[in-house]
Amino acid sequence: MNRKIQSALISVFYKDGLEPIVHKLHELGVQLYSTGGTQTFIEQAGIPCTAVEKVTGYPSILGGRVKTLHPKVFGGILARRDLAEDQKHVQEYDIPLFDLVIVDLYPFEETVKSTTDEKTIIEKIDIGGVSLIRAAGKNYKDVCIVASRHQYSHLLQLLEQQKGVTTLDERRNFAAAAFTECAHYDVAIAGYFNQNREADHFQLSVGGKQSLRYGENPHQAAAFYGAINTLFEKLNGKELSYNNLVDIDAACQIVSEFSNPVFAIIKHTNVCGIAERNSVSEAWAAALTGDPESAFGGVLITNQTIDKEVAEKINELFFEILIAPSYHEDALTILKSKKNRILLQQKEKFYPSKEFKRILNGILVQEADTKNYAEWTEAGTRASTATEKVDLVFANIVCKHLKSNAIALVKDRQLVGKGCGQTSRVDALRQALEKAKQFGFSLHGAVLASDAFFPFDDCARLAHEAGISALIQPGGSVRDNDTIEFCKANNMALVMTQTRHFKH
């Protein structure tokens, strides 16, 4: 059913983009009603406007907390046009009908981000706005509700093209968007109050929908929700895909663990090359050497500025994405030679505090794995040397970011072999040893990290045969002593951390 807008109630916090709408409404002969600052804004635009206080007979009270909460306002929104009993009440109580409601919400989320003062935050919990939006949304058959400035252009287009007439489908779509705004707002408020307690419901509301070309595979529809532009500036390349975003997330997490110059190469969320050096150029060369085969088509990331020297080296490789905190202009000139190559400038470090996963008909929630080790217990006959300790710390971090079962082999702060996603730990080690052999690495003096305990001493035996001198693992197996005794008998350093790093 079509409805012509004859009267409108307007009360908004954000007024940018509103002026063309009120001018068009006035041009169409629509009676405008408003409150406070919005009323002043409309009148300053030269448009006549009736104050809501004249309708209700009550001024704005309690410091502005109560302005529109009145039967004459809500009656004018909720009255059903085709119900005789409702229309009888409209006539009896002299209630003006509202065909259009333009109301937004106080900036609660923005306020929480900008201050810790609870009094200020509480005052930004909107009461009247939410109530008006819900009322208009409920009565969408008769009323059009616009609950966000992001819909102003769409509303203006309808006013211009349809001369103030709205269809039932259009009003229902506006109502759906309005209830979505309210739901997001309430989740934000609940999140604020639940900061120090466990909520009974899983609640997460993220806006900024970005449709993607497809999901993990071309036959899967997909979208990203979030404000990725707050984390990165895209300097070049095609639109980010679903798989790109997954790999970027993994890349940012592992690099955030390092402060010295580091370069990492990511494939399918696993790091296939990573090294820490004194310069970005040296770090890149060492990371690539770790597995130049897997690096093809990978996601590259560093915590250092990309200069011309390293750009020329990187440019020799086909890769999907490069992430860095900054770039020299001459480096960008080189790297932009491939128009589809994605170049991201990272604005800030990123590491999540919580992780979510859909499982069966529910959601799993856990704290992010931010701990590297709970303790450092030397369980071998000898303690790890200073050089081994540096490599053990490095290897433990790298292993934490590999899919389980995982083994990382490191020498001189360079990943020289890795096994990941294996169904047995010894198979992960065999894979890591084969990788090291494939690319000609000597493992004499290398170290090994495992994401979980060794159930048997077979991994220690294989490591010893390969020349590996030190191991780091959580411990906790009923057969820990087998590995401990083997390491003692063969002069291998063995560190127990009491911190497992499963990743599925």
The Cα–Cα gap between 95 and 131 comes to 18
The Cα–Cα gap between 328 and 420 comes to: 35
What lies within 8 Å, CB to CB, of 238 at 6+ separation is 339, 340, 342
SS3 assignment, position 305? coil
- Single-letter amino acid code for the residue at 276: E
**Cis peptide leading into residue 405 (ω within 30°):** yes
- Which class for 38: exposed (0-12), middle (13-18), buried (19 or more C-beta within 10 A)? buried
Q: Are 482 and 458 in contact (CB under 8 A)?
A: no
Cβ atoms of 413 and 277 closer than 8 Å: yes
Residues annotated as part of the active site: 138, 268
> What's the CA angle centered on 17, arms 11 and 109, to 5 degrees?
65
Three state DSSP letters for 30-90: CEEEECHHHHHHHHHCCCCCEEHHHHHCCCCEHHHCECCCCHHHHHHHHCCCCCHHHHHHH
Six-digit token string for 285: 């060369």
CA separation (Å) from 116 to 110, 121, 348?
A: 11, 8, 22
404 phi and psi angles, rounded to 5 deg: -75, 155
